[in-house]
Amino acid sequence: MPLMPGAEPYRHDGGDVGVLLCHGFTGSPQSMRPWGEYLAGRGLTVSVPLLPGHGTRWQDMQVTGWQDWYAEVDRELRAVSERCTRVFVFGLSMGGALALHLAARHGDAISGIALVNPSVKSDSAQLKAVPLIRHFVPSVKGITSDCLKEGAQELGYDRTPLHAVHSLSKFWKIVQAELAQVTQPLLLMHSRVDHVVHPSNSALVLSRVSSADLTERVLENSYHVATLDNDAEEIFRSSYEFVQRLAKAEAEVEAIENADGAASGGA
């Protein structure tokens, strides 16, 4: 099945600091590409993969699940890690859940994570019926393009496949259970008003992660797809400053350790 124009993966080969960006449920790399291009323009290596089942037609997503989506970002993380000495993971919505799962699994291999409106749960009563009705109702209305900015448009499906929703709900439970294992520096940016992912998702993440370096920013002028919305520049700038600060600190620590090692060897 051909890709939607604009849904293509995006990669840029830059310096030895890399960033993996994970898009959201039923979305595509288009929602992350301006962010990726901003970082690439400042010399970083960037990867924005297309998750399996996305970017074509919603029926293709029906035969995929969280294991497929995670396997793709895990593969990309390993590829960026081979190229770069420091790697960061950024995520929007479900991409935030994928970033958290990567952080819990890969530990110190990830230097930091930045999340925008991460999706780790739903309190919707309708979700409880999904395990049953997904066998009779294949899809419901889509969730893309929740943007405040006039003219902003997210490229994604106009239908939400319920088999995939069922898999996502299982993934949420896994991510929730391992949040305490997330120890990396964390920048969490969430919209004051979000019609897709309730802000309580961000509150849950903030309350359960073990990150000592934790920054929260509230986006006052955007809805869910904030990477395409009025606060996009703030997101891009804040995340780049986050990377620069941490990469510099790590480099200074390494320099001290190398100097100490050389002194010990000389002695």
* Active site residues per annotation: 93, 194, 224
- The per-residue DSSP string of the chain comes to -PPPTT---EEE--SSEEEEEE--TT--GGGTHHHHHHHHTTT-EEEEPPPTT-SS-HHHHTT--HHHHHHHHHHHHHHHHHH-SEEEEEEETHHHHHHHHHHHHHGGG--EEEEES-------GGGGGHHHHTTT--EEE------SSTT----S-SEEEHHHHHHHHHHHHHHHHTGGG--S-EEEEEESS-SSS-THHHHHHHHH---SSEEEEEESS--S-GGGSTTHHHHHHHHHHHHHHHHHHHHHHHHHHHHHHHHHHH-
